[in-house]
Amino acid sequence: MHVSVSSGLTPRERECLALIAQGHRVAHIAHQLGVASVTVEFHLKHARTKLDARTLPHAVALALTSGQIVGAVPVSEAMSGAAA
């Protein structure tokens, strides 16, 4: 299955997937982003749906292989040089 980079993930969805890829748990991501855990779960669920992924690890794999997150950093950060 090939996922287009234009699958419509929002910056927040990409950010949450990248943090999951780094091994962070939902509660930690929520704390780091200053939102509720249910909000992070919402973004991850929508990312899975948009990527047509069966599971969260599948969504991370698809986002990585399609270039939507690069090295567990959202593409927007990687391209701007914000990520070290």
Q: For residue 64, is it within any domain? A: yes
Domain tally, the chain? 1
pLDDT at 70: 82
**Residue ranges making up the domain that contains 31:** 11-71
pTM over 0.75: yes
pLDDT at 9: 95
pLDDT (tens digit per residue) in 39-84: 999 999 999 999 999 999 999 999 999 999 987 666 566 556 554 4
Please indicate whether residue 24 or residue 84 has the higher confidence score (pLDDT): 24
Q: For residue 76, is it within any domain? A: no
Estimate the crossing angle of helix 26-33 against helix 37-51, to 10 degrees: 110
CATH number, position 61: 1.10.10.10
What's the CA gap between 7 and 42, in Å, rounded? 17
Q: For residue 84, is it within any domain? A: no
